[in-house]
Amino acid sequence: MEDISIQICGIGKSWGKVRALHDIRLEIGKGELFGLIGPDGAGKTTLIRILASLLLPGSGTASVEGYDVVKDYRKIRDITAYMPGRFSLYQDLTVAENLSFFATIFGTTLKENYHLIRDIYVQLEAFSNRPAGKLSGGMKQKLALCCALIHQPQVLLLDEPTTGVDAISRAEFWEMLRRLKTQGITILVSTAYMDEAALCDRIALIQEGSILKTDIPSAIPGDYPRRLYAISAKQMYRLLKDLQQMPAVFTAYLSGQHIHFSLNPDFPEPGLIAMLLEKSGHEGIQIREVVPGIEDSFIALMKGESV
Amino acid sequence: MRTIGFLIQKEFLQIFRNRSMLPIIFAVPVVQLIIIVHAATFEMKSIRLFVVDHDRSVLTREVCDKFRGSGFFRITGYSDLDRDGEQGMKQREADAIVVFPADFEKQVSMGRDARFQLIVNAINGSAGGLIHAYTQSVVQDMNHNLRKESGLISMETRPQQIDLTYTFWYNPELNYQTFMVPGILVILVTVISLLLSGMNIVKEKEIGTIEQVNVSPIRKYQFIAGKLIPTLLIALFELAFGLGVGKLLFDIPLEGNLLLVFFAAAVYSCVILGLGLLVSTMTGTQQQAMFVSFFFMIVFILMSGLFTAAENMPDWAQWLNHLNPVAYFIRIIRMVLLKGSGFTDIRPDLFALALLAVLSITLAVRRYRKTV
């Protein structure tokens, strides 16, 4: 990595006795699309708010484009854009009014920087006189992104931008991010959706305020320590309960339509499991081996295994 | 400056886009002036009187006529049983009872002192006092007539008298509306300033826009100025509108310099805006802000001397009133509008208001820095 855009050195933050972040260390390169992946309450929002200069870190230091988030917060506000998870534009102002408001308070104009947002804004142009509060979820997201980009930021901080947005809009949104990346903007995006992790250049898995692992998305499941199987049967819930009680089973959890499970090292064969389950009355059992995904790695990491 | 100008423009855009805002701005002053000014009065025009007459004589009837003729009383019950009188009072059919003893007329005709009793519903103490005073004047009038009739007052025996002549200044007709309208205008400016400023910033917190503004290079003072100046302008507009309505509907006197009134109003509005800002830094939702604002507003207004004379309050309350901006402004606006006081007359009050303005805005801005 030649050029570092965001550097986080041992950032910690506590709310009273609750530890939100603990000794976070990350380096994000210029022009990188970096994903912060973790469940709700993992500390993603806290970390992003610290980088956006909205929160003071409890300990440690962090810098964005070489500017310290505490000392040089004014400079940071010039060069970064922050898009909170909740839609936070003026609902009673129109699309165009919101845009020109955010352009003005960043000391620029819509005309001057129109080229930055043209690709996204063309989809909104038909609604430019509609109050922002009356837009659909996907449209709101596009408008928020336009407002964030209007002052030509070098760093874009996105906090769960796709939460509560339909699948098509989510795909479109990630397409927009990829295009922004080609303009050299560093993007830090947090999400709770594991499937979005694969769309990032690199990801960090975060859980209970600590980073579990940082790598390129394809490398993370490669280190999965065991063979992983997908199983389905008629009564999925009872199946899960039964699996979790078997001594041979190491982990079992729901994953989409199936249950993913892995076995203790002494039981290398899943065939025995199927027999046992049939005996206890399960019907329509289907087992196949699957390639572990990021989610599987994440669950393994959460249990404290080293992957 | 350009940024502040733009913020103000945005603020007005939002205010006027809010459908309930325009009716509030124009309807509230008119409704408040019309309703409160007409309704809130201490003059008692029809005191309901229950007569318990054990005497049933010509004289008692004469006294009753005097009561009726005075213009203050209305006789709503007549009986010769004490019980009926009590009943009337309990059922809210009478504000006062007069009881004539059985030998009332006889005593008078024999040239002796006669007594009759007045029982007043004094739940509202000052109203009770007024009823007593009115009754007193009716009885005095009665005595005067009696002496004349019995020839006690002849030219020779007339005692020396000291006569008092009087004029009522500033409100010669003792018009209660003249007294109330300026006060109501103060309430208007207060409500608009406090609610608009307090609610406005909390609303930005609630919908999260304040963070979007905070991550921009905009300065805090620019943001605050962009919030306070529109509210100040609206409050002053309300005052002008209210003054116009007051002049048209109630013909209140406008003795003093109106510019001075508006100058004082601007200073006063700054105090209230500071308070509103302070409330909005301490609260997270519009509902909380509303409750806190109402608490302050009610205490300030009730202690301000709007309805009751602040000078009659106990010492500790008067001392507390040194911190009450409403009290200062009510005094100022009444002085300038009704008395025609000039700048030097109101200087101490104006100075105190300016001090409070600096205090409240400084406090609010400091807290705002820490919390948001």
Provide the pLDDT for residue B367: 86
* Chain A residues lying within 8 Å of B200, measured CB to CB: none
- Asked if B13 lies within 8 A of A97 by C-beta distance, the reply is yes
Whether the predicted model's global pTM rises above the 0.80 cut: no
3-state DSSP assignment of residue A52: coil
Residue of B nearest to A83 (CA): B212
What is the spatial distance between Cα A150 and Cα A146, in angstroms, rounded to a whole number? 6
Host H or E run for residue B273: helix B258-282
Residue among B216, B223, B370 with most chain A CBs within 10 A, to mutate? B216
pLDDT, greater one: A303 or A22: A22
pLDDT, greater one: B345 or B108: B345
- Asked if B212 lies within 8 A of A91 by C-beta distance, the reply is no
Range B344-367 average pLDDT: 93
Q: Where are the alpha helices (DSSP H) in chain A?
A: 44-51, 73-79, 95-105, 114-121, 137-149, 167-182, 236-245, 271-279, 294-302
What is the spatial distance between Cα A35 and Cα A198, in angstroms, rounded to a whole number? 9
Query: Which amino acid, residue A185?
Result: I
ipTM score for this prediction: 0.75
CA atoms within 13 A on the CB side of B233: 10
* Chain A residues lying within 8 Å of B214, measured CB to CB: 54
Query: Which amino acid, residue B46?
Result: S
Please give the domain boundaries of chain B with CATH numbers for all domains.
2-40+182-367 (no CATH), 47-149 (3.40.1710.10)
The per-residue pLDDT for range A226-263, each reduced to its tens digit, is: 888 888 888 888 888 888 888 888 888 888 788 888 88
The per-residue pLDDT for range B121-150, each reduced to its tens digit, is: 888 887 888 888 888 888 888 887 777 776
- State the average pLDDT for chain B: 86
The per-residue pLDDT for range A55-73, each reduced to its tens digit, is: 889 999 999 999 999 988 8
Tokens standing for A172? 């479109």
For the stretch A10-17, contacts whose Cβ atoms lie closer than 8 Å and that sit 24 or more positions apart, written own/partner, are: A10/A59, A10/A60, A10/A61, A11/A47, A11/A50, A11/A57, A11/A59, A11/A60, A11/A61, A11/A62, A12/A57, A12/A58, A12/A59, A12/A60, A13/A43, A13/A46, A13/A50, A13/A55, A13/A57, A13/A58, A13/A59, A13/A209, A14/A58
Taking the alpha carbons of A100, A104, A109, A113 in that order, is the dihedral positive or negative? negative
| Angle at which helices B220-250 and B343-371 cross, to 10° | 140
Provide the pLDDT for residue A19: 86
Tokens standing for A258? 């199936």
| Least-confidence region, from A240-254, B95-109, B142-156, B305-319 | B142-156
CA distance A105 to chain B (A): 6
Strands A258-263 and A228-232: antiparallel
Whether A79 and chain B come into contact, CB under 8 Å, resolves to no
3-state DSSP assignment of residue A250: strand
What is the spatial distance between Cα A91 and Cα A52, in angstroms, rounded to a whole number? 23
CA distance A130 to chain B (A): 13
Range B308-332 average pLDDT: 87
Query: In this structure, what DSSP letter does residue A173 have?
Result: H
List the beta strands (DSSP E) in A194-233: 202-207, 210-215, 228-232
The per-residue pLDDT for range A179-192, each reduced to its tens digit, is: 888 888 999 999 88
* Chain B residues lying within 8 Å of A101, measured CB to CB: 6, 10
Tokens standing for A86? 């909740």
Whether A183 and chain B come into contact, CB under 8 Å, resolves to no
3-state DSSP assignment of residue B88: helix
Query: Which residue in B198, B161, B277, B218 sits closest to B7, CA to CA?
Result: B218
Residue among A48, A94, A102, A105 with most chain B CBs within 10 A, to mutate? A105
